[in-house]
Amino acid sequence: MTEIIKRDYSLLGTSGKMAVETGLAAAEWYHTDVARKDMKALMQRSDAPAIRDTILWLGSMVLFGGLGIYFWGSWICIPFFLAYGVLYGSASDSRWHECGHGTAFKTRWMNDAVYQIACFMIMRNPVTWRWSHARHHTDTVIVGRDPEIAVMRPPDLFRVILNFFGILDAWHAVIDMLRNAAGVISAAEKTFIPEMEQPKAIRIARIWLAIYVVTIAAAIAMGSILPLVLIGLPRLYGAWHHVLTGLLQHGGLADNVIDHRLNSRSVMMNPVSRFIYWNMNYHVEHHMFPMVPYHALPRLHAMIKHDLPAANPSMWSGYREMIPAFLRQLRNEEYFLKRELPATARPYREEFHGGALAEAAQ
Amino acid sequence: MSNNWIEVCAADAIDEEDVIRFDHDGRTFAVYRSPEDDYFATDGLCTHEKIHLANGLVMDNIIECPKHNGRFDYRTGEAKGAPVCVNLKTYPVKVEDGTVFIAL
């Protein structure tokens, strides 16, 4: 009989130590075979798609924000701010992510500039989260190692619902910003941010704090909440789309495995969501080959789909399997959805995942 | 200095602006051909998370790690920014009669 060990998601806890001892941490992950020539072609950088998308993104924000300001005081401003909010509080998530990988643009400074802007909007310290995300890719959904597990087991569904409005994320982000601005790097942050990088995290936190102080001062001076509706609050009222799409990335799937086909989910999405999400709906593909730019992910998907579980045909389909899995994990945290492979795929490595697969959902 | 020159491969086995993996005596190396048709060699694993650099992308004189976007100047081994902080070790390379050699 398998002994059930309670998961400890702390980066300083027992599960993380166990992952290091058992070789789950920093392991060699499964990769679908792709010819070097093809992978080189997929990894090639280009500025054009990201320049186009960035002009569209920031241009739309100026347009919707401008119309929202113009109609401020009337109900007509609401749809414009709702659109502005999604571009601020959700599209920034994918821009932060893709530019953090350094793959969105070919030109380095363009990646860095959009990365800084997006990090501010999504309220993620650009230094802390660069390192946190590197760890997420090294140890994807390895309990106690991955700092970016969105839904832990058993799931805290109240927390998930609150995050559709950015409430807990923004709260923690503000606390982290204030702590970093005071010159304090937490013990957990120290586990993945090298010492030489820590002063940069503190400097950024102080700059952001100054921006928020000026924004709040402007709101007080104007006697209006409008400055905060434009800066800061969209992280709350525009967060829902990045949570809606982001939960699908790993929700309800296996943990403590070293095959992204088991712990990640690709989902076909509508063009608007794919623009906001910058093609991260191809999430298995992204984790398997993180240096493939977002605009090449559909080509990568076509090339390797024979070796991957079938992508969910829609977000609805993803939620239809994920929510029941979350509910079942409330009673049994060992439960997860096993992704079935097509006949053309190389099988999961039983030597690594035999135990996990045996416990998977039937 | 007495270099021990080890044969790697035929010079044309590496595409221009590309890299191959070379394993020798229990160690792994990355051998590069630059856009200027010069050859270079470094340790084969990224100094950040021990990922094989030969699966990465060569752009001009930069090798980018395929896992976390760590970048090095493969001519000097210099780490070019987060998430890599430690330089790569480099090795002398020569090409003789169409064959690439690395000095170990």
Q: Domain spans of chain B?
A: 5-103
* pLDDT tens, residue by residue, A226-253: 999 999 999 999 999 999 999 999 999 9
Average pLDDT over residues B59-68: 93
Where do runs of H (alpha helix) occur along A231-296? Answer: 234-237, 240-246, 260-263, 271-277, 283-288
Residue ranges of chain A whose CB lies within 8 Å of a chain B CB: 26, 39-40, 43-45, 101-103, 127, 130-131, 134, 137-138, 194, 196-197, 289-291
Burial profile A261-274: b = 16 or more Cβ within 10 angstroms, e = fewer: bbbbbbbbbeeebb
Asked if residue B1 has pLDDT above 70, the reply is no
pLDDT at A358: 54
pTM: 0.90
Q: Residues of B with CB below 8 A from A20's CB? A: none
Q: Residues of B with CB below 8 A from A39's CB? A: 55
Asked if residue A41 has pLDDT above 70, the reply is yes
Kindly report the average pLDDT of chain A as a whole number: 93
Domain contains A3: no
Asked if residue A359 has pLDDT above 80, the reply is no
Q: Residues of B with CB below 8 A from A44's CB? A: 57
Burial profile B19-30: b = 16 or more Cβ within 10 angstroms, e = fewer: bbebeeeeeebb
Asked if residue A53 has pLDDT above 70, the reply is yes
pLDDT at A354: 57
pLDDT at A361: 46
Domain contains A198: yes
pLDDT at A132: 87
* pLDDT tens, residue by residue, A137-166: 999 999 999 999 999 999 999 999 999 999
Confidence of residue A5 (pLDDT cuts 50, 70, 90): confident
pLDDT at A194: 86
Domain contains A5: no
Q: Do A40 and B57 touch (CB under 8 A)?
A: yes
pLDDT at A362: 43
Average pLDDT over residues A321-344: 95
Number of structural domains found in chain A: 1
Asked if residue A352 has pLDDT above 90, the reply is no
The rounded distance, in Å, linking the Cα atoms of A188 and A341 is 36
Confidence of residue B83 (pLDDT cuts 50, 70, 90): confident
Q: Residues of A with CB below 8 A from B56's CB? A: 291
Phi-psi region of B30 (alpha: psi -120 to 50; beta: other; left: phi over 0): beta
Domain contains A148: yes
Q: Do B49 and A289 touch (CB under 8 A)?
A: no
Asked if residue A356 has pLDDT above 60, the reply is no
Domain contains A292: yes
pLDDT at A351: 57
Domain contains A8: no
The fold for domain B5-103 equals Rieske Iron-sulfur Protein (2.102.10)
* pLDDT tens, residue by residue, A92-121: 999 999 999 999 999 999 999 999 999 999
Average pLDDT over residues A257-267: 96
Q: How many CB pairs under 8 A join A and B?
A: 45
Domain membership of residue A344 as a residue range: 14-359
